[in-house]
Structure 1
Amino acid sequence: MSIGTPPDGNSPEDERPFEDDREAAQPSIGHALRQARIEAGLTVDDVSNATRVRIAIVHSIEQDDFAPCGGDVYARGHIRTLANAVHLDPGPLLARYDAEHGGRPAPTPAAPLFEAERIRPERRGPNWTAAMVAAIVAVIGFVGFTMVKGDGGDDSTTQVAEGSTPTASKPAAKPTATKPADPKPDPSDSAIAAAPQDKVTVQVSAPDGRSWISAKDHNGRLLFDGLLERGQSKTFQDQEKIDLVLGDAGAIQLHVNGKEIEDEFQPGQVERLTYTKGDPEVG
């Protein structure tokens, strides 16, 4: 018995491309958040004030750029916060983010930390009681040996031995207190003026406005992530390189290895920069 074609003339395989088209027509995470914000009648400033998510990060997420979030955990948190602010269900957005970025990050197991604490060797100070007992036994043995030896000789030998006895219990010298080393000063304007050649030194200033900035060292460790107010400045040093993200590059003035960077950044422009020991030019 043969299987005939459906009455409309379309086989099940003919209907599959329409499902793919529907999936492809789904808006991206950033587009969905932006559309919901516009429909709610909110501006980026309104969303930023309501959620305390920085304006530069809101702009980046709406453009599907999650790098300024600082990792998958922070990106998922920002998506959930922004979705709630614009009255949008965050569940489908988070599921799509996990599918596009390798799944939800697994929590760090706590058991190995407790094992490390349990097997960590305990630090012990010197056993002064045992040292004192050993010293007393040594003095008593020396005195007894001297007295026995003195019984078989003349008086002069006994007097010399008795006179030398106190030297065996000479008090220990008082330990000299060591002066603690001075704490290493943070990089400052003086470090910029005499920038070491074996390091990269970057000073970020906001003389005429304010801007969100992020700075990382060559290992990717976050050195600073926050808002630089008008008149404030931050200085960063590393052995190899400094990675910067400027939320409003037009409000920022840069000095790299003691030299001013004269690039003309536009107001509101987001810049990602890398500087090394050989700069003032962008790495």
Structure 2
Amino acid sequence: MTELGNRLKEAREEKGMSLDDLQAATKIQKRYLTALEEGNYDIIPGKFYVRAFIKQYAEAVGLDSELLFEEFKKDIPNSYNDEVSEKLSSIKPQRELPKSASKALELLPTLLVAAGVIVVIAIIYVIVQAVNGGGNQQAEEPKTEESQSKYDVSKDSPLTKENQQNTDAQKDSAEDDKEKKDQQSDENDKLTIKATASEGSSTTYEVSGSDKLELEVKANENSWVRVRDEKGSSLKEGMMKKGETFQKNITDQSQIDLRIGYAPGVEIKINGEVLSYKLDPKTVMTQNITIQNKKEEKSS
């Protein structure tokens, strides 16, 4: 086992994470994680993946990957030569086109012009058919007395009054629904979520403009998640399976701390509004999120 492997394993054990937990958090196969701890890079397909797996492993257990690369640069393979050789091998010499292909290219402009003429004729045909169809609809026979009588219902008939009452009730219900939606929209318009600081894999967000705050954490993919309140007490910690949701009213909390093991698979909402990750989840998969509740002071 190498010094780098020892450093990674010790950090994982300090976090209380098993290899299965780490596999779920990083989406890296367990056998590759074991290879990183043992320094057995030969079973990993390519030097590029060795560096990528070390970076994801380090961030998942709270280590700075850049510092690790600098400290153990002699032990970590360099992927530059592999990338250059792959790019050079993928370049193929250009071949001359056969004579038949060059003749086809010469005829291409003529074929395009012919196709354009056909399209124009088709458009004109469709327009003519539409105009003729509209004229035929206007020439329909007038309604018979029997069919006309269905529409000549007296305004004072019970049927008309009942329909009118139903229509009025529907209008009132629609207005009530619209008023409720407008109130909800006003509350969301006042809510502000702003990223104020970001360092490494940690980001701080300030939330203001709403008297009530509801936190929702949804796992779109399996991920390890930890949620702590302002006193450091754990509200949620462990693996969240795909489709699982955690909700908590955080109105009385001045600060909430979250640690997300696999950020691309976790969605965070406040009052139904999605929190946009300041750090790209595809690049920084393990992130620390701090949500600060900036309550507005009310005048006496």
Fold shared by both chains (TM-score > 0.5): no
- Whichever structure has more strand as a proportion of its residues is 2
| Greater C-alpha radius of gyration | 1
- Whichever structure has more helix as a proportion of its residues is 2
Using the size of structure 1 for normalisation, the TM-score is: 0.32
Of structures 1 and 2, the one scoring higher in RCO (CA 8 A, sep 6+) is 2
Using the size of structure 2 for normalisation, the TM-score is: 0.31
